[in-house]
Structure formats: C-alpha cells, structure tokens
Amino acid sequence: MNYTQIITAAENFAKEQLGQDTTGHDWFHTDRVRNTAGLIAEMEQADVFICTLAALLHDVADEKLNPSKEAGLRKVHNWLAEHLSDEGQIRHIMLIIETMSFSGGGGEPMSTLEGQVVQDADRLDALGAIGITRVMVFSGAKGRPVYDPEIAPRDESLQKEYRDYSKGTAVNHFYEKLLKLRDLMNTPYGRKLAEERHAFMESFLEQFYKEWNQGSRKLL
C-alpha cells in the first residue's frame, strides 16, 4: 500500500469505529483534527504522514469508546501492524496516541514535533465556536446544567473529579480546562490559531453573563 491508500484505509477505520458517537468524538471531530494537524504540520515542517495517521486514529483508542484504555490502544496497534511495515512509524504513532489523552493535569509532555502538532490540533478543536458547541453538547449528553452561579469551578488537576460529571456545569468547564489550553500550545503556529479561538470564547462568556444578568435587579 502507498501512503494515500493507507490514509484512505485509516479514514474508513476511524469512521467505522467512531460511528454515531454524540459525545464530541464523532467522525467530524477526527476529520477537523486531521485537517488542522495537516495545516500546522506544513507550517512547522513536521512529517505530514505521521501527523495525519495519528490524527485519524487518535480517538479510536479513547477510553470512553472502549472497554479499557489498554484495549483501545491494542486495537489501534493491531491496525497499524496490519497496514505499516516500518516499526519506527508504528512506535511513533502509538507514542503520540498514548500521550495525547488529556486527563486531569495534562500528563506527559509530547516528546516529538509530530506529537506536538497533533496534540495542538486536538486542543484547538476544544476552542472557539466549535469548542463552545462541543462543551454544550457534551454537557447535555452527561446531564450537566449549562450554568449555575452557585457552583464554583473546580481544580481540574484533581483527576478523580475531572471525570465526575455529576458536579459542575458547562460554563465551569471553560475555567477548568478550555481557557487554559491556549497557554499549553506546543507549536508557534498552534498558539497563533489558539489566540483567535481563545478571544472568541472570552467574548462569548462576557455576552453570556450580560444576558444572564439583564434585568436581574428585579423590579418586583
């Protein structure tokens, strides 16, 4: 198989695996991450093939879509072993996918440029208008309220609490995670793309509070 055929096979595998997921890991999320990763890879002179494959497969191993994280990673490894002959490429892509999932404090830093590119692309999809949409959809799916002025944001570095969706609100997730991502960008171009999306979320929140509080002086 040549590179184009492998990429097409990976697209089909990801589409089939992610299926109808409605929690923010649908095929279109993967497709956007793949496109953004390609864009950043070009600007940062990273290996586009590695970035594209890692982006396409990054959510297939997600613990939310598999019996366990290990089972998910095994599935991706098996697929790679069937489609790539270069052991180094397989190891590199596995390293990226293993390191990528952001739980609590953020885990290990990415050690390769390609990993940094794909991680930036995934984080960018949690920002801006798309990011706002994903938080709201995810929160609805988990039964979280959009906002409650009585509930303060939590420290998301407390891993146990991070996946406890019963406490907390969609708006708090901006403070717990999303507004921190800009400063965690790995690459200069990723950071540049994050700036605009970060600013958009800040103005969204400003408008949100303005509307929430309009008339709250209460005449009666």
Nearest-approach distance from CB 25 to Ni ion, in angstroms: 6
Q: Is 138 in the site for ligand ADP (CB under 6 A)?
A: yes
Which of 122, 126, 181, 198 binds Ni ion (CB under 5 A)? It is 122
Of residues 11 through 40, those in contact with Ni ion by CB under 5 A are none
User: Alpha carbon of 214 to those of 50, 136, 205, 207: distances in Å?
Assistant: 50, 22, 14, 10
Calpha distance 157→176 (Å, rounded): 9
Nearest-approach distance from CB 173 to ligand ADP, in angstroms: 4
- H helix intervals, 25-169: 27-44, 48-57, 69-83, 87-100, 113-124, 128-142, 159-162
Q: Whose CA is closest to 124, among 64, 43, 65? A: 43
* Residue nearer to ligand ADP on the CB measure, 6 or 126: 126
Residue range at the interface with Ni ion (CB under 5 A); choices 40-48, 54-62, 90-98, 147-155: 54-62
* Residue nearer to ligand ADP on the CB measure, 167 or 192: 167
Vertex 200: Cα angle to 197 and 201 (nearest 5): 90
Residue range at the interface with ligand ADP (CB under 6 A); choices 7-15, 90-98, 135-143, 185-193: 135-143
Nearest-approach distance from CB 151 to ligand ADP, in angstroms: 12
Length of the chain: 220
> Contact positions toward Ni ion, by CB under 5 A?
59, 122
